[in-house]
Structure 1
Amino acid sequence: MKRSSNHTTTNRLNRTHRHSYLLSGLLECAHCAGSYAIMSKDRYGCTNGQKDLRIAHLDDGVCANSKTISRSELETRVLDAIPARLLSVGSTTSLQDEINKQLTATTKTGERDQEKLKSHLSEVSRK
């Protein structure tokens, strides 16, 4: 069986030549809410504006945001905005503990709901 090779992220070959940066996939255009991505050598820009895509919530207009920013400048601004204590070992440990508690609680709730559904299904099947 021959697999079709397309130009999506599911294509392993396509993923191998795409660089991934610190903010890849996390940026959004303030004007049209489209994705901000590397447009030219190390510069981020709005992909909707570059491609002249029609945007429904802009009354089928094109994104007028033609501003770009260098990758290094943007990464510096973002990292400078994060307080140093936020990334300390103690804060990440307490954050991880809280995440683990929430996951445990969610899992227990899900298991209880599943048991209730099984019980209800048995009751309905019996009737």
Structure 2
Amino acid sequence: MSWQTGSLTCPSTRAAAAGRVASSRADGAGVCSKRKSMHAHKLTVHVPRSRRVEISLPEDVPEGEVEVIVLVQEQRAPRSVEADGNEKLLAACRAVDAWREDNPDRLLSKDQLDAALATERDGWGER
């Protein structure tokens, strides 16, 4: 197991009252009343079907009550283009692909396309 660790320090209420630290609430709650230090330990684990996870903490974590937070990345089911009602768009894409396969001699290279566009623009004249 490889752990990432970090530290956070809560500001004092006096510092918050002096305006040096923003409180998370208008009534001052959310600001620590005593100067405390918190240590964060981050570990990525695999969640099995049983949904049971067991971790071993580093030796520097003292015995006693701790807060455990589980962060789960949102999982979105893959969506089918057809399921979204875009059947016409999908059909158009297939038609373009079929045309390209049937007409390889009519496809232009970048240089050919640039030349054709330059000729078209030259025909527009000055505005």
Which TM bucket (shorter chain)?
under 0.3
Higher relative contact order (CA 8 A, sep 6+): 2
TM-score (normalised: structure 1): 0.25
Higher-Rg structure is 2
- When you count helix as a share of all residues, which structure comes out higher? 1
TM-score by length of 2: 0.25
